[in-house]
C-alpha cells in the first residue's frame, strides 16, 4: 500500500452535460512506467490534467502518495513533476532564469541540483540563452528539466517526445528508464508513439472514448504471436490449418494464424504429411500497434 | 509569498512594460508642459499688445480672464450646465484676486497637480492597465499558466503574489509621475512653486459655490493630497483590471474591455446624467480630485465620500470575484 504512488479512483468528468471521462481507475507503483495510449479525443489529456490539478473531476478522487489532490493540494503536488501538452516557458527569459523562478515556488533546491538536472537533459551549453531562440527539442528538454527540478516521486508527461528527433527520442527513453530504475521515480506517459511506449513502459493502459478498455503489462500483451505460411497449395493448406485453428485467415496468398511456437512443429508436420510444400514459415510478434488499432477500430471521435 | 512576489515583479520588469509607461509619461508630460508654457507666453504677449504694458501683472491677467469668461456667459450658444460651470470659475478667480493669491503663473508644483487632475480619469488608468491587463491573461496566451499552476503552491497564493506585485508597481508609477512632472515642467517653467498657497475646500452645495469651509495649504501639501487620491484611483483600476484579466483569457480583449468602460463611462456621465444607476458605475466616480476644486458635477447626489465608497466597493468586489474564479476554473490551454 505504501508504495502506490498514484491512485486514480473512478474519476469522471462532465463538461456541459457531456460525460467526457466515464469512470477511470488506475494505479502506479513506485518505479513503474505506465503508458497511456488512446486515439485522438479519447480523453488522455483531460485525465492527465485532472491528475495534476489543472481541472477538477466531477466525481471520484485522485491521490498521490496517499495525499488527496483536492484536500491536500500542496502536499500532493510536492511529489509531482509534469509537462502537459507542451513545454511552455517564459520566452523572454533564459532557460536558467526560468528554472530559477520555478525553483523559488516551493521547496527550494540548491544551485547544484539545478545544474545536475540541466546536465541530465543535456542543455548545459544553451541553458543561459533566451527560450525564445530554443528549438522545439531544446524546449522539450527544458520542460523535462523543470518537471524534474523538485525531485518528484511521480513524473507525468503528456506527449513528451513531440518534436524530438530520433536521437532525442533515444536519449529521452534512456533518461526515463534511468529515472525509473535507478531513482525509483514513477512515470506516467501518454504518447501516440506506440513503438516508444512499447520500449519504455512496463504497463500500458489503453483508453478510448473516456473509458479504459485494456490495462495490462506490456509483456503480457505481446506474448501472442502470429505465424505466417507461404505454401505451394494455398487453399488446401488453408483448409487444413483452419481445421485446427479457427482464427486462421488468408491474406494475399499467405495463411496467418495466431499460434504458440510450441504448437508450430505439429502444424508443419501436418502440412508435410498432406504433401504440401512449405516455402516459408515466419513468426511475427503481434505488435502493440496492431492490438491498439484492433481495440479501437471503427471508433469515431464523439 | 515574498519569493512568489519577487518572481512576479521580475516578470513585469523583464517584459519591458515599465519602459513603455516611462516613455508615455515623459512624452505626455513634456507635451503638456510645453503646451502650457506656450499658451501662457502667448497670453502675456496678447495682453502686452492690448495694454501696451511691457511688464505684466498677474492681477491684470486675472481681471482679463474674468472679463473673457463674463463675455462667454452672455453667449446664446452655451448650455445651462456650461454657464453654471463658468460662473463658478469666475467666483473662484474673484476669491483669489480679493485675497492676493496668484492663481495662474505656471509652476512645477501647480503643473504636477494639474497633470493629475486632468489625467486621473483616463491617462493614469491607461498606464495602470498596461501593467495589469496582462497579468493573468498573458499567462494564458503564452500557456505558461500550466507551469504556474502545477507547483506545490495553492492557487490563491499565486494570484495574491500578482496582486502585490501590481500594487508595488502602481505605487512606483504614481511616484514616477510626481517626480517626472515636477522635474520636466521645472525645466520649462523655471519655478518650483512648492510653497505657493493653494485654497481648497470649495464645496458645491445646491448648485452654488460655498467658500465657507475653504482652507489654505501649501502647494506641496496639496500635491501630496492629490497624488494620494491618484494612487487610490490607480489601485482600484488595478483591481478591476486584474478581474477582467482573470475572466478574459486574452490581453487585447482585456485592454479593449477596460478602455471601452473608461471611455464609455465618460459619455454615460454626460448623456445619461438622469439615470440614478450611472452614479454607481466606477467610471463616474474616478474623478476624485474634482471634489477638491469645486467643479460642477453633472450628476446630483455625488460627493467625495460617496465616490470614495463606491470605488472601494468596486475594488473589494472585483478582488473577491478574481480570487474565487481563479481558484476554481479549469485550465484548458
User: Rounded to an integer, what distance in angstroms lies between the CA atom of residue B21 and that of residue B171?
Assistant: 13
Interface size, chain A vs chain B, as Cβ–Cβ contacts under 8 Å? 68
- Identify from A13, A67, A90 which residue to disrupt to test chain B contact, counting B C-beta atoms within 10 A and taking the largest count: A90
Nearest by CB: A105 against B7, B143, B330: B7
* B146 and A CB contact within 8 Å: yes
- Chain A residue whose CA is closest to B138: A90
Total domains in chain B come to 1
pLDDT digits (tens, 9 = 90+) for B26-48: 999 999 999 888 888 888 778 77
ipTM: 0.79
Q: Is A102 on the interface with B (CB under 8 A)?
A: yes
The grid cell for A287 is 505488435
Q: Percent of chain B at pLDDT above 90?
A: 40
Contacts A85 to B, Cβ<8 Å: 146
Pick from B142, B144, B152: which is nearest to A78 by CB? Answer: B152
Report residue A101 as a C-alpha cell.
523562478
The beta strand positions in chain A, using DSSP E, are 4-15, 18-29, 33-37, 59-64, 67-68, 80-83, 154-158, 186-190, 203-208, 211-217, 225-231, 249-251, 254-258, 278-285
What part of A 183-202 touches B (C-beta under 8 Å)? none
Q: At what angle do helices B17-51 and B123-132 cross, to 10 degrees?
A: 170
Contacts of B149 (CB under 8 A, 6+ apart): A53, A54, B155, B158, B331
Residue B309's pLDDT is what?
92
> What range does the domain containing B213 cover?
2-27+105-328
A206: which strand partners? A37, A214
Average pLDDT over residues B132-140: 91
pLDDT tens-place string over residues A74-84 = 999 999 999 99
B227, part of any domain: yes
Nearest CA in chain A to B142: A88
B150 Cβ under 8 Å from any chain A Cβ: yes
DSSP letter at A127? Answer: T
- B60 in a domain, yes or no? no
Please give the DSSP secondary-structure letter assigned to residue A120. Answer: H
pLDDT at residue B204, as a whole number: 61
Q: What single-letter DSSP state applies at residue A276?
A: P
The CA–CA distances, whole Å, from A8 to A77, A168, A185, B166 equal 15, 31, 18, 39
CATH code linked to domain A225-285: 3.30.70
Hey, is the C-beta of A248 within 8 angstroms of any chain B C-beta? no
H helices present in chain B, as ranges: 2-14, 17-51, 58-73, 80-98, 108-119, 123-132, 134-141, 145-149, 155-189, 219-247, 251-271, 290-293, 304-328
Best of B138, B151, B327 to disrupt the A interface (most A CBs within 10 Å) is B151
| Lowest-confidence segment of A115-124, B62-71, B259-268, B289-298 by average pLDDT | B289-298
The pLDDT confidence band at residue B327, using thresholds 50, 70 and 90, is very high
* Closest in A56, A78, A84 to B146, CB measured: A84
Q: Which of A197-201, A245-249, B52-56, B252-256 has the highest mean pLDDT?
A: B252-256
Do the domains at A4-221 and A225-285 have one common CATH topology? Answer: no
| Number of other residues whose CB lies within 10 A of the CB of residue A277 | 11
Instruction: Please report residues of A whose CB lies closer than 8 A to that of B150.
Output: 52-54, 77, 80, 82, 84
**Are the beta carbons of B282 and B240 closer than 8 angstroms?**
yes
Residue B315 within any structural domain of the chain:
yes
Residue B231 and residue B174 in contact, taking contact as beta carbons nearer than 8 Å: yes
CA A136 vs. chain centroid, Å, equals 21
Q: Residue B23: inside a domain, yes or no?
A: yes
pLDDT at site B302: 78
d(CA B245, CA A79): 30
Q: Give the span between the Cα atoms of A224 and A68, in whole angstroms.
A: 39
Encode pLDDT of A206-223 as tens digits: 888 888 888 888 877 666
Q: Which of B4, B328, B331 sits opposite A105 (nearest CB)?
A: B4
The number of helices, as runs of H, and strands, as runs of E, in chain A is 11, 14
- Please answer whether residues B129 and B255 qualify as being in contact, where contact means their C-beta atoms are separated by less than 8 angstroms: yes
Q: Is the pLDDT of residue B80 over 80?
A: no
Measure CA A290 to chain center. Answer: 16
Report the C-alpha gap between A80 and A65 in whole angstroms: 10
* Per-position b or e across B261-278, b if 16+ CB within 10 A of its CB: bbeebbebbeeeeeeeeb
A73 touches chain B (CB under 8 A): yes
- A4-221 CATH: 3.40.50.300
- Interface contact B11, partner A, CB < 8 A: yes
Query: Residue A3: what pLDDT?
Result: 83
- DSSP letters spanning B258-324: HHHHHHHHHHHHHH-TT-GGGGGSGGGG--TTHHHHTPPPSSTT--HHHHHHHHHHHHHHHHHHHHH
Contact between residue A273 and residue A237 where contact means Cβ atoms under 8 Å apart = no
Q: Would an 8 Å CB–CB cutoff place A54 in contact with chain B? A: yes
Residue among B136, B134, B59 at smallest CA distance from B98:
B59
What pLDDT sits at residue A299? 56
Check CB contact under 8 Å for A91 and B142.
yes
User: pTM of the entire structure?
Assistant: 0.82
CB B171 within 8 A of CB B230: no
Instruction: Using the predicted structure, report yes or no on whether residue B234 has a pLDDT greater than 90.
Output: yes
Whether the CB-CB separation of B91 and B209 falls below 8 Å is answered with yes
- Average pLDDT of chain A, as a whole number: 87
For A140, counting Cβ atoms within 10 Å of its Cβ (0-12 exposed, 13-18 middle, 19+ buried), the class is buried
Cβ distance B14 to A92 less than 8 Å, yes or no, reads yes
**Bridge-based pairing state of the strands A186-190 and A203-208:** unpaired
Which pLDDT score is estimated for A219?
78
**Per the domain annotation, does B57 fall within a domain?**
no
For residue A223, the model assigns a pLDDT of 63
Percentage, residues of chain B above pLDDT 70: 83
CA distance A209 to A298: 12
A272 touches chain B (CB under 8 A): no
| Mean pLDDT, rounded, for A151-157 | 94
Average pLDDT of B166-175?
95
Which of B4, B144, B146 is the closest to A54 by Cβ?
B146
pLDDT of residue B51: 67
Asked if the Cβ–Cβ distance from B330 to A49 is below 8 Å, we say yes
**pLDDT over threshold 80, residue A224:** no
Q: By C-alpha distance, which of B267, B270, B207, B259 is closest to B237?
A: B259
Of all residues in chain A, the percent with pLDDT exceeding 70 is: 94
Per-residue pLDDT band for B295 (boundaries 50, 70, 90) equals low
Element (H, E) at B215: strand B215-218
Distance (Å, whole) CA B141 – CA B248? 10
Upper half-sphere CA count for residue B311 (Cβ side, 13 Å)? 24
Which pLDDT belongs to residue A199? 85
- Encode pLDDT of B198-222 as tens digits: 666 666 665 566 555 556 677 788 8
CA distance A156 to B31: 56
User: CB contact, 8 Å: A132 with chain B?
Assistant: no
pLDDT of residue A146: 94
Domain ranges across chain A: 4-221, 225-285
Segment among A144-148, A250-254, B111-115, B170-174 with least mean pLDDT: A250-254
Residue A149 pLDDT greater than 90, yes or no = yes
State whether B153 and A80 contact (CB < 8 Å).
no
pLDDT of the residue at B298 = 60
pLDDT for A125 equals 92
Kindly state whether residue B7 falls inside one of the protein's structural domains.
Answer: yes
Q: What number of CA atoms fall less than 13 Å from residue B177's CA on the CB side?
A: 33
| Mean pLDDT value across chain B | 84
Between B55 and A204, name the one with better pLDDT.
A204
Amino acid at each position: 500500500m505504501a508504495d502506490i504512488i498514484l491512485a486514480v479512483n473512478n474519476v469522471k468528468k462532465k463538461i456541459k452535460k457531456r460525460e467526457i471521462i466515464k469512470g477511470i481507475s488506475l494505479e502506479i507503483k513506485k518505479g513503474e512506467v505506465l503508458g497511456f495510449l488512446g486515439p485522438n479525443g479519447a480523453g488522455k489529456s483531460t485525465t492527465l490534467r485532472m491528475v495534476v490539478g489543472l481541472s477538477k473531476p466531477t466525481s471520484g478522487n485522485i491521490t498521490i502518495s496517499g495525499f488527496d489532490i483536492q484536500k491536500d493540494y500542496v502536499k500532493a503536488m510536492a511529489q509531482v513533476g509534469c509537462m502537459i501538452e507542451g513545454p511552455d516557458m517564459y520566452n523572454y527569459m533564459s532557460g536558467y532564469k526560468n528554472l530559477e523562478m520555478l525553483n523559488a515556488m516551493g521547496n527550494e533546491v540548491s544551485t547544484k541540483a539545478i545544474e545536475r538536472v540541466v546536465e541530465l537533459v543535456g542543455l548545459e551549453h544553451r541553458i543561459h540563452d533566451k527560450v525564445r531562440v530554443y528549438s522545439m527539442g531544446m524546449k522539450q528538454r527544458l520542460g523535462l528539466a523543470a518537471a524534474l527540478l523538485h525531485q518528484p516521486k511521480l513524473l507525468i508527461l503528456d506527449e513528451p517526445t513531440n518534436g524530438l528527433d530520433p536521437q532525442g527520442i533515444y536519449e529521452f527513453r534512456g533518461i526515463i528508464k534511468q529515472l525509473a530504475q535507478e531513482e525509483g521515480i514513477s512515470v506516467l506517459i501518454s504518447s501516440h508513439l506506440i513503438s516508444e511506449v512499447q520500449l519504455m513502459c512496463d504497463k500500458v493502459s489503453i483508453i478510448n472514448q473516456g473509458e479504459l478498455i485494456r490495462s495490462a503489462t506490456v509483456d503480457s500483451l505481446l506474448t501472442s504471436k502470429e505465424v505466417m505460411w507461404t505454401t505451394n497449395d494455398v487453399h488446401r493448406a488453408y483448409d487444413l490449418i483452419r481445421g485446427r485453428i479457427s482464427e486462421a485467415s488468408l491474406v494475399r496468398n499467405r495463411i496467418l494464424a495466431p499460434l504458440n511456437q510450441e504448437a508450430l512443429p505439429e502444424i508443419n508436420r501436418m502440412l508435410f504429411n498432406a504433401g504440401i510444400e512449405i516455402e516459408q514459415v515466419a513468426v511475427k510478434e503481434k505488435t502493440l500497434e496492431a492490438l491498439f488499432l484492433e481495440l479501437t477500430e471503427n471508433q469515431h471521435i464523439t | 509569498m515574498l519569493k512568489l512576489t519577487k518572481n512576479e515583479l521580475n516578470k513585469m520588469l523583464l517584459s519591458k512594460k515599465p519602459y513603455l509607461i516611462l516613455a508615455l509619461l515623459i512624452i505626455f508630460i513634456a507635451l503638456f508642459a510645453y503646451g502650457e508654457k506656450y499658451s501662457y507666453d502667448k497670453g502675456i504677449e496678447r495682453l502686452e499688445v492690448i495694454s501696451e504694458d511691457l511688464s505684466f501683472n498677474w492681477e491684470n491677467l486675472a481681471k482679463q480672464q474674468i472679463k473673457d469668461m463674463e463675455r462667454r456667459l452672455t453667449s446664446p450658444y452655451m448650455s445651462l450646465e456650461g454657464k453654471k460651470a463658468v460662473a463658478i470659475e469666475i467666483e473662484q478667480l474673484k476669491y483669489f484676486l480679493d485675497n492676493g493669491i496668484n492663481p495662474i503663473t505656471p509652476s512645477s508644483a501647480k503643473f504636477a497637480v494639474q497633470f493629475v487632475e486632468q489625467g486621473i480619469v483616463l491617462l493614469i488608468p491607461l498606464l495602470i492597465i498596461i501593467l495589469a491587463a496582462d497579468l493573468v491573461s498573458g499567462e494564458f496566451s503564452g500557456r505558461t499558466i500550466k507551469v504556474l499552476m502545477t507547483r506545490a503552491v495553492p492557487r490563491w497564493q499565486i494570484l495574491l503574489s500578482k496582486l502585490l506585485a501590481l500594487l508595488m508597481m502602481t505605487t512606483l508609477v504614481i511616484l514616477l509621475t510626481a517626480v517626472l512632472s515636477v522635474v520636466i515642467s521645472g525645466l520649462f517653467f523655471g519655478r518650483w512653486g512648492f510653497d505657493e498657497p493653494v485654497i481648497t475646500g470649495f464645496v458645491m452645495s445646491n448648485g452654488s459655490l460655498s467658500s465657507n469651509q475653504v482652507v489654505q495649504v501649501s502647494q506641496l501639501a496639496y500635491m501630496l493630497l492629490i497624488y494620494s487620491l491618484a494612487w487610490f484611483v490607480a489601485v482600484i483600476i488595478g483591481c478591476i483590471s486584474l478581474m477582467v484579466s482573470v475572466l478574459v483569457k486574452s490581453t487585447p480583449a482585456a485592454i479593449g474591455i477596460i478602455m471601452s468602460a473608461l471611455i464609455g463611462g465618460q459619455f454615460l456621465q454626460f448623456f445619461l446624467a438622469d439615470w440614478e444607476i450611472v452614479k454607481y458605475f466606477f467610471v463616474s466616480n474616478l474623478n476624485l480630485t474634482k471634489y477638491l476644486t469645486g467643479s460642477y458635477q453633472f450628476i446630483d447626489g455625488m460627493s467625495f465620500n460617496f465616490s470614495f465608497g463606491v470605488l472601494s466597493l468596486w475594488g473589494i468586489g472585483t478582488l473577491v470575484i478574481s480570487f474565487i474564479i481563479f481558484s476554481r476554473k479549469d485550465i484548458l490551454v
